[in-house]
Amino acid sequence: MSTVRDDLERRLALIEEPASRHVFTKLYPEAARAAADAADARREAGLSLGALDGTIVSIKDLFDVQGEATTAGSSLRRKADAALRDAPVVARLRRAGAVIVGKTNMSEFAFSGLGLNPHWGHPGNAADPSLVPGGSSSGAGVSAALGTSDIAIGTDTGGSVRIPAALNGVVGFKPTARRVPLAGAFPLSPSLDSIGPLARSVEACAAADAVMAGEDVRPLAAAPLRDLRIGVPRGLLFTETDPAVAQAFEAALSSLSAAGARIGDTPFDDLLGRMAEATAAGPIAAVEAAEIHADWLDAEEAAFDPRVHARISRGRTVTAAAYIRMMRTRAALIEAGDERLAPLDVLALPATAIPAPAIAAVERDDAAFARLNLLMLRNTMVGNLFDLTGISLPIPGRGKPVGLMLLARHGQDRRLLEIAAGVEAALRG
């Protein structure tokens, strides 16, 4: 019978393959071997720490690990003070028996939906290494898809779990904000940040989410799709959608309809317009990031990815009064959005309007990068701005990977995972 140690050694060998180039920023081979041996010893004794015992897990390069600097995908963080303790989510994963194999690459300071990193190198998409991996949890998406980890832990501030999941053909779950403790995770935007898993199944994501949230892991029962109420927010979120993405999305809806789901259009453009008006002075993420980076934004400018520096700097132009008003309006819109979703079980839309573009198309072209980055983030960021829980599921097909995104009301995380398990089964046929 294969052991956890055998499984780990196979993954470590895979990480050395060309497809995994730039996917990891740090490996923990000896610590992982010790954890794998401990899991095997428990298994031999008939003991188990639960669903994640012996599971190979990777963590995004912004989580604190005791004794080392947390670089958050940036070269200027290499000289940061060493973390005094593991981030709570890392500690919880270890206590659950997870074998943490390493830290995965990311967009610098988690501020891009495309996943490029000039400091650590660009991970190639798992389906085609010439394509972008999606960001900001770029290495996490590729690792989960290639199988170098069973579960990859990322963060999601505007889509940074769901985008790489969609572009690499895996499942990515964004919980309600503050469900999982953010302590020990280098922040981008504390009002929008959330921590979530990427994996090859909804069930694996549900188990990781429960452990990170400090809950008992319970078996996930797939929700029946008959009479499931699915709203489709056609309008602004469907403009500029790639034909292949649109075709895959409509095929997915047809599968769900055939399974008995009740699908109808749900107006959402009015709320999107009001949110855009409220944040017209500058994106919330940029405003909050400008405060986080204030002490070194000028002094260390040369060390930044210029595109990241420019996006963070934009937040410095927003006054305190404008920011407070923005957040007050957002709070009201969160409640309005919750009310709009009350008659539904989920909203459904493409996770990203476009499939993964070529790295070469955006690597040196600032205009193309800016345009495609905004388009990549457009649909997923709705979940963060309106404080929803969301998930991206791979839509089976022969072309580039495409994700189906489901969004549910805040706090309905378990219900969304149950629905997603039912949808996953229907899509797989």
Closest listed residue to residue 279, CA positions, set 354, 331, 335, 244: 331
- CA 107 to chain CA centroid, Å, is 12
How is residue 408 written in tokens?
């549910």
Beta carbons of 130 and 180 less than 8 angstroms apart: no
Active site annotation includes 26: no
* H/E segment holding residue 359: helix 359-362
Q: Which of 136, 143, 149, 189 is catalytic?
A: 136
Among 428, 387, 404, smallest CA distance to 232 is for 404
Q: From the centroid of its chain, how far is CA 60?
A: 10
- Examine the residue annotation and report whether 74 is marked as an active-site residue of this protein: no
Which of 74, 149, 160, 189 does the annotation list as catalytic?
A: 160
Q: Is 160 a catalytic residue?
A: yes
d(C-alpha 117, C-alpha 215), whole Å: 34
Burial class (CB in 10 A: 0-12, 13-18, 19+), 252: buried
Catalytic residue among 20, 58, 60, 400: 60
Contacts of 142 (CB under 8 A, 6+ apart): 20, 23, 104, 123, 124, 125, 126, 133, 164, 168
By C-alpha distance, which of 185, 230, 200 is closest to 392?
200
Count of alpha carbons within 13 angstroms of residue 275, beta-carbon side? 23
d(CA 405, CA 340): 18
Q: Rounded distance, CA 119 to CA 140, Å?
A: 17
CB-CB contact of 327 with 284 (8 Å) = yes
Beta pairing, strands 262-265 & 389-394: unpaired
56, β-bridge pairs: 99
What is the β-pairing status of strands 171-174 and 195-199? antiparallel
Rg (CA), the chain: 20
| CA separation for the pair 227, 225 (Å, rounded) | 6
- Which residues have a catalytic role annotated? 60, 136, 160
